[in-house]
Structure 1
Amino acid sequence: MARITAGVGSSHVPLLGVAHDQGKERDDYFGPIFAGYDWTREWEKQEKPDVVILVYNDHASAFDMRFIPTFAIGCGERYKPADEGWGPRKVPDVIGHPDLAWHIAQSLILDEFDMTIINEMDVDHGLTVPLSMMFGACEAWPTTVIPLAVNVVTYPPPSGNRCWALGEAIARAVESFPEDLNVQIWGTGGMSHQLQGARAGLINPEWDNRFLDLLEAEDDAVRHIPHIEYLRETGSEGIEMVMWLIMRGALGHKVKTLHRHYHVPCSNTAIGHIVLEPNT
């Protein structure tokens, strides 16, 4: 049967895509950021995942105010990089895994999650930047990808508790798929940052690292952090971290930390990265 073998958490700052595409990964500014992903790139070469379920948020590229799905799963065969205003990134198309995606969609809906099914969309930096961070420059991405988009842009976003429960349901869905597949689940976004208003530029390293500590814990206390705490402590865009809880919920209560990285600054935010595996 298919199995979730690891979970990866990562920021998806668009500036990292620019740095990667312009060959600036090892300059004085970006070098310490990308160095924190060197371990993961080597590890991914060994792990060779067949499928990555990549949890991210769209930034008004595929969705806008006309329709705002809380949870949307991509069941298509191929996704092109989105044009976010300066042309699409020159990275490979993302190849989907429709068989597993449709299986997960059916399982989640029967498990009482109201999923929006997407068969055609372009994917923006929220999805392509994590792929670049984990795999570097590629002629083709070395894994298929199931996009799972979460609304954390427009009120109301889902609670951390609901995201954790969705991760648990995804794990049940994957485990019931009969094909032998090595599946990873990635949660992306964050960490603390605010892009506008009086608190623009807010970064809270103490809270960010406490959040990473809670991801490593054997209990599920992190799922109960209220929206108001994310807003108060991590800025208006810090709510993106609830997407990491989908990844964490899919791994079970006990996890083993394989790698962890945190760095400030990157653009006007903090960089967080963690690699976990189920500890069964």
Structure 2
Amino acid sequence: MFTQQLVAVLCLALAASASPNPSKRRAAARAASATFPDPPTTISLDEPMTIKAGESFTPDEEYTRYDRGVSCGGQSEGGDKDAVFILEEGASISKVVIGEDQSEGIHCLGACTINDVWFEAVCEDAITIKQESGTSTISGGGAKGAEDKVVQHNGGGTVRIENYYVEDFGKLYRSCGNCDEMYERHVEISGVTAVSGKVLAGINSNYGDTATFDTSSATDVKTICQEFEGNDTGDEPESISKGPSDFCIYEEGVDVTEA
């Protein structure tokens, strides 16, 4: 009896060692990649495509390129009507490429999930988060050529950015510094690879914003985390400080490696 039990225990141990933890397998499979997909076709939309609350969208041909058929108008503020996609509360989108012929990329009206979406060029913003609360997740995919922001967080709650690639950018994430209605906002950045940029995350510490970093790398990026004094008057927010703090939460060389 003892021998049979011992054999059973050994078999279980061998099976466990042969099968890595599922979460670790997922993390390895979704590591940030610098290789942008090659779209099989392009669709130019006359108006934004809305993904209804709770629904998911993946194109019939994965990594189809979507745009609005218009040239980027620079950094003039756009609205929902200018977006390529609008996601309602709980909506998700995956395996899409956003082309350069657009002004605004994706607008999330509520908590949303953006999975494996690639921006070949960023105009005003790639992703605008308007949720009042909850958590939006941006997982996999990447963006390049953002003169200013990739992710603009205008609403409240939390934004998770994981296993993402960003290149040639102003800010990967910015908590709105002067919106008419200001919130406490949080961003969690993990597994991100950033190349040639100014700021990974900009937050308003006077409103209690936080930016938490983990296992990310930055090459030729000037600032990992920058604190601002936000306002609701529309004035340009002033910079308070840069680097690790109670609001910019990371350890240099451990949570974020720089080159």
Q: Same fold (TM over 0.5)?
A: no
Which structure's relative contact order is higher, taking Cα pairs within 8 Å and 6+ residues apart? 1
The structure having more radius of gyration, on CA atoms, is 2
How high is the TM-score relative to the length of structure 1?
A: 0.26
TM-score, structure 2 as length reference: 0.28
User: Whose strand proportion is higher, 1 or 2?
Assistant: 2
